[in-house]
Amino acid sequence: MDRFSQAVIRHKRLILAIFLVAAAISALLIAAVNINYNMIDYLPQNARSTVAVRLMEEEFGTGMPNARVMISDVSLQEALEYKKKISETDGVVSVSWLDDVIGVDTLKAVPLEFLDTSVIESYYKGNNALISLAVERGKETDAVDTIYELIGESNAAAGEAVNIAEIQKMSVSEVVNAMLLLLPIVIILLIITTTSWIEPILFLSSIGVAVAINMGTNIIFDDVSYITRTVSPVLQLAVSLDYAIFLLHSFNKHRQTVEPPKAMQLAMKESLPTVAASAATTVVGFASLMFMRFGIGSDLGINLLKGVILSFISVMIFLPALTMVLYKAIDKTRHRKLLPDFKKSGPLLMKLRIPFLVLALLVMVPAYLGQTNTRFMYGMGNATQASRVGRDTRLIDEKFGRENILALVVPKDSTGREEELVDELSGLTHVTSIVSYVTSVSGSIPVEYVPKEAYEQFYSDNYSRIILNTDTSDEGTDAFETVQAVMDITAKYYDEYYLAGTPATLYDMKNIISSDTTLINIAAIIGIFIVILLTFRSLSLPVILLFTIETAIWINLSIPYFTASSINFVGYLIISTVQLGATVDYAILFTNSYLSNRKSLPKKDAMKETISNNLIAVLTSAAVLSFAGFVLALASDNPIIQELGKLLGRGTLLSLTMVALVLPALLVLLDGVVRSTTLKAR
């Protein structure tokens, strides 16, 4: 380590140049990183709904319709003209309306009153035409903008593609807005907790360089999710700022006795184990996300893991070089301490430890049970409720009733079997109508008498397609029970079947994520248990520290259950790993200091000394992370990101409370257990 630190100090200007050039190049590459706004793309390729969409594209030449356009006060001929114009829009790969179901000649020649009303009113009702279309992935924004220009304000557009286009617009400036809100807060916090006007710049420069490189190097991936792009920079800054604080705090301490170069050498050597342990717990928390089958976990986990590693490298190489260049400026900009030293906090918090320990034990079980029963949302529909998309969706529901389309794909077989299946499916409570060959044409009519465009809507060379119109929302009990019922009935008639549509997709997502969450939580706990075990060489301390932070997590995630609300699954995934990986550092810092003080002091005095000396460091770190969360909530227009921000801010404060008030009680109470289960304990 001595040779490494000497090399860093000796080549400090070259190191600065390399990091700054890398950051500049990365900053230019950020705009070229492809952003994915469709969460459905992260489902496993073998998920039933994913296979269904792929089969429809291969067999029928069109994907699942992902948008609906309602044209008000139009005749049949005017509706056909709108359909033609929409089909010519760049990015629209298919458009379907009533003429595709019954044939355009039939539509023009036969009066509507002589046709099946249940079929007609799914497409044309009260002089309003409801047109379904499929928009190409990646072209949602341009296509929806063109459609809005075509239909004007008096008509409506809704659906998954329209939601994605709206979310894309909402998220464009969210990273910038979050940083513009967060940076002044962080700077103020750092000014208050340091003794130089320059030091906050050093902290933010070292982490800022790492953030820029992390975002720019995402160019190596095909794309990253919009959630990753929004939360990753803020989380990277918040969870890794501690590393820089540890190093500069050690440097300032050693400067009181030795020259700056030697002080930096000692600081790098002293802070490396602390920074490495802190980074390791965070990395383990993020890495656990990569065990998910749902691809958003790997997308988010890899990005955050890469960011923490880059922050660690930047703090251990770039920051020492920058500090050695600017240490004279640090000396010239010294100011008096703006915060009290908190020396009296130890005795005060020790008096509160038993009541808070009892309280934690009382709420632990209800909190655990509550968080296991929290309801999750899996779709993105709630993200656009306050926009035109939400208004248009409600308008379409008023005119045509709430409708969710499910597309059932089964092997091409006899029309008799298909008719039996359709008859049974039509009896389901939330199935309002079924559009298939046997309902729209009749299985008794010879194929040669059926218009080609109508026949090809339902049959390919190998498969039959049946469209079910349901009155459920995208997700929830009714939607998921309907999906399950459709699959159960279909399984009685066919060994092979596939179901597509938003409820089917979210049903797959729910089942996959439900098993994923258990896996990643276990992986995170085991990984961090091992890190703490190796750090302290103790069997009891990992249990004590994990209990402290897990209880805070359970309380945080149980609040939605006890307030009868639901949370988006993204918030749960991130919080259950980030809160554990990032805030367990506070517990490690307290425990490490306690063990050191315990070598020369009685246990209660050792804990008082620990609290007095370390509370300010933990408060600073927790303040940055909690503000990062609340700033995300304030800066974003997306309810999913807002929810995540609230969970992060609240969770950090709960972890801080547990570490400052409950952990001291546990360490003092279990002092003998810790001593007997720790290797070479004194």
Task: Please write the tens of the pLDDT for every residue from 437-493.
Answer: 777 666 566 665 566 666 677 778 888 888 888 888 888 888 899 999 999 999 998
Pick from 473, 579, 604: nearest CA to 524? 579
Which helix (H) or strand (E) element contains residue 194? none
Beta strands in 364-515 (DSSP E): 375-377, 404-411, 431-435, 463-470, 498-500
CB 594 within 8 A of CB 670: no
CB 456 within 8 A of CB 105: no
- pLDDT-derived band of residue 172, with 50, 70 and 90 as boundaries? low
Q: What stretches of 152-259 show up as alpha helix (H) in DSSP?
A: 160-171, 174-193, 199-216, 226-254
Predicted local distance difference test score (pLDDT) of residue 215: 93
Max Cα–Cα distance, the chain, nearest Å: 98
466/437 Cα distance (integer angstroms): 8
Kindly provide the b/e burial profile for residues 419-445, where b requires at least 16 CB atoms within 10 angstroms of the residue's own CB: bebbeebeebebbbbbbbbbbbbeeee
Predicted local distance difference test score (pLDDT) of residue 446: 60
Packing angle of the helix pair 226-254, 319-332 (nearest 10 deg) = 60
Q: Which pair of tokens denotes residue 639?
A: 């309810």
CB 177 within 8 A of CB 635: yes
Predicted local distance difference test score (pLDDT) of residue 552: 93
Q: Domains, the chain, ranges and CATH?
A: 1-32+173-339 (1.20.1640.10), 54-169 (3.30.70), 342-379+503-682 (1.20.1640.10), 388-502 (3.30.70.920)
Kindly provide the b/e burial profile for residues 102-133, where b requires at least 16 CB atoms within 10 angstroms of the residue's own CB: bbeeebeeeeeeebeeebbbbbbeeebbbbbb
The residues near 296 (Cβ < 8 Å, ≥ 6 apart) are 39, 42, 225, 227, 228, 570, 573
Mean pLDDT of 336-350: 74
Q: What is the pLDDT of residues 562-620, one digit of tens each?
A: 988 888 777 777 777 778 877 888 888 888 888 888 888 898 888 888 888 888 878 88
Q: What is the mean pLDDT of the chain?
A: 84
Q: How many CA atoms lie within 13 A of 75 on its CB side?
A: 4
Percent of the chain with pLDDT over 90: 15
Select the more confidently predicted residue: 321 or 291.
Answer: 321
610/618 Cα distance (integer angstroms): 11
Predicted local distance difference test score (pLDDT) of residue 382: 60
* The most confident of 114-128, 136-150, 168-182, by mean pLDDT: 136-150
- pLDDT-derived band of residue 114, with 50, 70 and 90 as boundaries? low
Total residue length of the chain: 682
Cβ neighbours around 280 below 10 Å, total: 22
CB 463 within 8 A of CB 59: yes
Grouping H, G, I as helix, E, B as strand and the rest as coil, residue 88 is coil
Question: Which residue in the block uniquely carries the two structure tokens 């706990």?
Answer: 525
CB 70 within 8 A of CB 128: yes
Beta strand 224-225 pairing with 35-36: parallel
Q: What is the pLDDT of residues 510-546, one digit of tens each?
A: 888 877 877 888 888 888 888 888 888 889 999 999 9
Predicted local distance difference test score (pLDDT) of residue 636: 75
| DSSP code string of 327-365 | HHHHHHTB----S---TTHHHHHHHHHHHHHHHHHHHHH
Predicted local distance difference test score (pLDDT) of residue 212: 94
Predicted local distance difference test score (pLDDT) of residue 576: 77
- pLDDT-derived band of residue 509, with 50, 70 and 90 as boundaries? confident
484/504 Cα distance (integer angstroms): 9
Question: Does 675 have pLDDT greater than 70?
Answer: yes
Q: What is the pLDDT of residues 101-112, one digit of tens each?
A: 777 777 777 776
Predicted local distance difference test score (pLDDT) of residue 489: 92
Predicted local distance difference test score (pLDDT) of residue 173: 67
Q: What is the pLDDT of residues 233-244, one digit of tens each?
A: 888 888 888 888
CB 304 within 8 A of CB 224: no
CB 529 within 8 A of CB 282: no
Q: What stretches of 103-198 show up as alpha helix (H) in DSSP?
A: 104-109, 117-120, 140-151, 160-171, 174-193
Mean pLDDT of 274-299: 84
pTM: 0.81
Mean pLDDT of 64-79: 85
- pLDDT-derived band of residue 383, with 50, 70 and 90 as boundaries? low
Predicted local distance difference test score (pLDDT) of residue 124: 83
Q: What is the pLDDT of residues 182-200, one digit of tens each?
A: 788 888 888 887 778 888 8
